[in-house]
Amino acid sequence: LTPQEGEPGRWEKFTMTVPTEGNSPTAEVVLAVPAPYEVEAIEHKVDWRVRAERDGKGLVRQIIWSGGGIPPLAFTEFRFIAKHPAAAGTYQWEARQTYRDGQTSTWPIQTKVRAGGLAPAIERRLEGLKAMSLAALGVAAALLVVVAALLVGRRR
């Protein structure tokens, strides 16, 4: 499931990649959505039926894709839009894959909501840009000194 990390209260497109690693095609995929994630929309998949089970507040707590098939040694992606919880922390999801032969596999999934502020990658990029800006100012100042020296030398 990606993204595995997000910012509090941010809406994102999630992608769950489901491979069929055995000899029997995947026939159903169930994703348990942890509270307090909010699912807004689920991508329409041709050849798959989608059903959303909701809690007492009307929030989606389980997404069920069925009726399609993922052949052996193949995969498909299931997407949906959801909002990360406001509270930072680690959240537990669970995916269950059912094969045509009746066997199932269960996959625990964790996502993390960072504490407020910019994402670490963005912060690193901003620091890099700040360093480049300072270097550019230094080069510009050196060029001004050279140009000034040339102009003064020309007047003599």
Strand ranges in 20-74 using DSSP code E only, listed in sequence order: 26-32, 38-42, 49-54, 60-70
Average pLDDT, the chain: 90
At residue 117, the pLDDT reads 57
Confirm if 43 and 78 have CB atoms less than 8 A apart. Answer: yes
d(CA 7, CA 87): 9
Instruction: Compute the average pLDDT of residues 98-112.
Output: 97
Nearest Cα to Cα of residue 48 among 64, 32, 24: 64
- For the stretch 121-134, pLDDT in tens is 666 676 776 777 77
This prediction's pTM: 0.74
d(CA 48, CA 65): 6
